[in-house]
Structure 1
Amino acid sequence: MHTKDPVLPLAESEKGFASAQIEFRDVTKMYGAIAAVKDLSLTVRSGEFLTILGPSGSGKSTALMLLAGFVAPTKGDILIAGRSVAAVPSYRRDQGIVFQSYALFPHLTVRRNLEFPLEMRGLKAAERAARVERMLDRVHLKEFGARMPSQLSGGQQQRVALARALIADPPILLLDEPLGALDRNLREQMQVEIKGLHKEFGKTTICVTHDQEEALTLSDRIVVMRAGRIEQTDTPEALYDRPATRFVANFLGEANVFENPELIVEADLAQPPGTVAMIRPERIGIADPSSPKRSDAGLRQSVAGVVDDVIYAGPYRKYRVRIGTQSLVVREHVTSGQQTFSPGSPVRLDWLDSDIRFVAA
């Protein structure tokens, strides 16, 4: 930690970063012969919540570390509010950062953890104390200020980490797998908390995660990365409903790819060359073969199959259905009185022609 050169006040050359539009311009980061990030060009709008999503090794964490200033690009430039930050060290970029491990000071109380970044910025004691109390109240930890981090639950530690990142009012908030260490229930609670904090504080926020549900829940836009490059960027709804590639379709949610083209021939859909057809599991209906067809049957493809497997998951039931050599996954919301099927049951599947998507293979 730098103590001789505090973050505030900003140098004259750095003023104006408060308008936190971020630009990656043709950024490449090499580690030897390996490109962790390759030709990355991306603009993040001021006040936007953007999530970089991808599997391990996709380059998402490297992109965040480049923005944070912890690593330098091999090629290209990164701009904040129209100004290059290539020569600006990480501790002067005026960004709040939350790590997966929380990175709280274990020897300091919660209150001192929050006060420390304000002290580094030269704020007077009275103002520091007032800000800390307001922030403790905002993250519902007012009664925990005197506790040590080891005396807090994982969710409470995460709230402290978020509060510490926000307390100095930075224009940019960076989240590195922020909920990865929490169990499912806590993750869902913290997703609501993070969404509320973003709405309240309006910070330009970049989040890195491999959790698809987290990305869909939190983001204004999602960047899906693969092998150091951007595969697709769009809103959560557009990415899920209209994936551009087979990789995006399979990574963001679950997708049925029609390996047997004959299953969609009857729909008379024009399949572009170099693509495969896919459909989401929840878009497929399942019924007894003898049940009446739907009123919009003329707009649907209908096929006969046999149930191979059933998974009950609380709010929904998932079937794996065999149709010749093709296996399709069907996800059906559980409702009272609905007909259910067991392995070996003959069934009829149907789906709207308009729910078929063609994605690059």
Structure 2
Amino acid sequence: MTLHQKSTPLRIAEEKDLENRPDSPRIEFCNVTKMYGAVAAVKDLSLSVHRGEFLTILGPSGSGKTTVLMLLAGFVVPSQGDILIAGKSVASVPSYRRDQGIVFQSYALFPHLTVHRNLEFPLEMRGMRAAERATQVDRMLNRVHLKGLGGRMPSQLSGGQQQRVALARALIADPPFLLLDEPLGALDRNLREQMQGEIKSLHKEFGKTTVCVTHDQEEALTLSDRIVVMRAGQIEQTGAPEALYDRPETRFVANFLGEANMLDAVGFKVESDVAQTSGTVAMIRPERICITAPAAAKRADANCRQFAMGTVDGMIYAGPLRKYHVRVGSSVLIVREHVASSQQIFRLGDEVRLEWLRSDVRFVAA
């Protein structure tokens, strides 16, 4: 598919023909490629985002995820292919003519304007009357828990407060869709967790079709209806958070989305409830493995489990979790368990028994 040379700006009215098809994609990438010289940042990308969906594009640096967002925002133009919003081509429509809300990692607030003026600005650009603008701003400030802070400058706010202002500004003009570029990357862990809850709440309330780009796996799992994992400019796997985490298709996805134990060097045949296919390797998540003393009594479902003896190579205490590194054969397996007062704690050099349900073993492309 070639790049359309003529296009019109997106208007909400243009979506009326889709109202009776709620499952129709709001955003479509059709065989999109973006070249920078001889380097393809995005290669032949085809992807649909549905109405009201929170879709996260996840991947390491250089995977092409940010380029996808920049293409959708209109900051860069595809080298090949087309981008459709509500069935209309926008591939050649500049960013300022697209009806969208954008939140950047750096917040991108106007430093010389008060919080109130930052929120008022997009409404003013749309020709809204002053009295109505003031009402809308007050309502939005109250919604993002910043009531009474409209007169402050951005520099007088904390990072979390600035991020709330950025979200409010992106939503206040009621755009059809919302773009989030590493929205929580500048916040510390506690603030990130708070803002994850706030973003999830805002998405539920406003129902905006949202595309988020991040390299934070926890953020993607927490916020998303669906996750797209990218690698080297292409989609590696797409699915619901639970599906991607529990049933990764490749070694890359298994290792990138959380921690994974590859069982190809444990020194024994790995058993599973499903047959292994050619070119795959057995994998199990760390929290699916139980660690016990060698002489501990076996569980009632022992006939459904596989057992392995190993030696503790290390232990990391992380508050609610305890992580063990256990050498089994030529592999070091990670075991992650929730801390409880009655647990036995194993130390470096201890002999231990590992066990897991055969149904928890997955096979991924090597």
TM-score, normalising length from structure 1? Answer: 0.95
- How far the C-alpha of 1:87 sits from its partner, in A, is 3.0
Q: Deviations over 1:67-98 (max 9, x none)?
A: 00000000000000111112322111100000
Q: Deviations over 1:14-35 (max 9, x none)?
A: 7425867100000000000000
Partner of 1:7 in structure 2?
none
Aligned partners of 1:315 and 1:12: how far apart in 2?
Answer: 48
Aligned partners of 2:9 and 2:276: how far apart in 1?
Answer: 57
Aligned partners of 2:76 and 2:180: how far apart in 1?
Answer: 16
1:119 aligns with 2:124: yes
Q: Deviations over 1:146-178 (max 9, x none)?
A: 000000000000000000000000011000000
- Given candidates 294, 302, 313, the residue that maps to 1:297 is 302
Cα 1:187/1:267, change in 2 over 3 Å: closer
Structure 2: 5+ residue stretches without partners: 1-7, 19-24
Partner of 2:248 in structure 1?
243
Superposition RMSD on alpha carbons, in Å?
1.6
Whether the 8 Å contact between 1:17 and 1:171 is mirrored in structure 2 is no
Q: Secondary structure at the match of 1:187?
A: helix
Q: Which amino acid aligns with 1:207?
A: C
Aligned partners of 2:9 and 2:78: how far apart in 1?
Answer: 23
- Given candidates 26, 32, 38, the residue that maps to 2:31 is 26
1:179 aligns with 2:184: yes
- How far the C-alpha of 1:268 sits from its partner, in A, is 8.2
- Given candidates 11, 14, 37, the residue that maps to 1:16 is 14
Pick which of 199-208 and 337-346 moved more: 337-346
Q: Secondary structure at the match of 2:269?
A: helix
Partner of 2:205 in structure 1?
200
Aligned partners of 2:29 and 2:247: how far apart in 1?
Answer: 25
1:50 aligns with 2:48: no
Aligned partners of 2:245 and 2:10: how far apart in 1?
Answer: 44
Pick which of 237-246 and 316-325 moved more: 316-325
Cα 1:52/1:267, change in 2 over 3 Å: closer
- Given candidates 214, 219, 240, the residue that maps to 1:209 is 214
- How far the C-alpha of 1:328 sits from its partner, in A, is 0.4
Q: Which amino acid aligns with 1:169?
A: D
Q: Secondary structure at the match of 1:16?
A: helix
Cα 1:61/1:12, change in 2 over 3 Å: closer
Structure 1: 5+ residue stretches without partners: 1-9
Aligned partners of 2:354 and 2:114: how far apart in 1?
Answer: 59
Aligned partners of 1:60 and 1:266: how far apart in 2?
Answer: 37
Aligned partners of 2:278 and 2:95: how far apart in 1?
Answer: 47
- How far the C-alpha of 1:266 sits from its partner, in A, is 5.3
| Identical aligned residues as a percent | 75
Q: Which amino acid aligns with 2:362?
A: R
Q: How many aligned positions are there?
A: 352
Partner of 1:35 in structure 2?
40
Aligned partners of 1:316 and 1:189: how far apart in 2?
Answer: 20
TM-score, normalising length from structure 2? Answer: 0.93
Cα 1:125/1:181, change in 2 over 3 Å: same
Q: Secondary structure at the match of 2:276?
A: coil
- How far the C-alpha of 1:325 sits from its partner, in A, is 1.6
Whether the 8 Å contact between 1:264 and 1:301 is mirrored in structure 2 is no
- How far the C-alpha of 1:261 sits from its partner, in A, is 6.0
- Given candidates 234, 238, 243, the residue that maps to 2:239 is 234
Partner of 2:147 in structure 1?
142
Q: Which amino acid aligns with 1:260?
A: A
1:71 aligns with 2:70: no
